[in-house]
Amino acid sequence: MVNELRESKEKLTSRDLQAMERRKQILETAKEQFAEKGYSATTTRALCREINMADGLIYHYFPQGKHEILMTIVDESLVDKAKEINKALSEINTDLPLQESLMAVMGIFLNNAIKDPRLIVILLREKNHLPEAYMEKLTKGLKGIAVKIVRLLQRAVQRGEIADLGYSMMLSQLWGSIIYYIVQGFVNNTVDIQDTAREEYFKSLIAYTLHTWRP
């Protein structure tokens, strides 16, 4: 497998590598502009000027123009994040105390969201420009986290640690808190991946929630 990858890279010409770098540059610049100014307010001409590229050359990389760029940003970002999240979820030690396990799951989602705030802004603001298939892909990615939380709750109920108050309600209670935190953070521009107060906030939140679920 390693040899195949090495051979594949060796077959790429300098022109191929330059094209790949240019494509990446277009996507990164568009992502920044879409998040800052909005999809509708960003023109392909502005993108070309931002990266010192001749007007019209952008269609060589993205024949359908700005809309194809938006679709590519969202599609590739969601695919990458889904892989990261699923891998991280599979590595969680389910034998940990429930509070620690829930903190680990919430941390996976929060860190992935906070690491790419521009994507979150685009998803929230430009959802009307995105086909339902993309939003379904996002929902599918979040479902993995929800399933993991429910399984942790089920194990805790079976061990008698918490009462069975209905898993949908319990999940909604936790999920609503994390979504509210993220949305408020982006609205007020207060989200920080290194924010220790964030960890303490969710630790207290989970501790209080588990206390209310005691049998």
CA distances, 159 to each of 73, 98, 172, 210 (Å): 44, 11, 22, 14
What whole-number percentage of the chain has pLDDT above 90? 35
What is the pLDDT averaged over residues 27-51? 93
Tens of pLDDT, residue by residue over 76-127, are 888 888 888 888 888 888 888 999 999 888 888 777 777 788 888 888 888 8
What whole-number percentage of the chain has pLDDT above 70? 88
Tens of pLDDT, residue by residue over 167-196, are 989 988 888 887 777 777 666 665 554 566
Compute φ and ψ for 208, nearest 5 degrees: -65, -45
Helix axes 14-37, 66-90, angle to 10 degrees: 90
Q: What is the pLDDT of residue 185?
A: 66
This model's pTM is above 0.85:
no
Name which of 30-44, 123-137, 175-189 the model is least confident about. 175-189
Q: For the chain, which domains are there? A: 1-63 (1.10.10.60), 70-215 (1.10.357.10)
Contacts of 18 (CB under 8 A, 6+ apart): none
Q: How far apart (Å, rounded) are the C-alpha atoms in residues 112 and 94?
A: 21
What is the pLDDT averaged over residues 116-144? 81
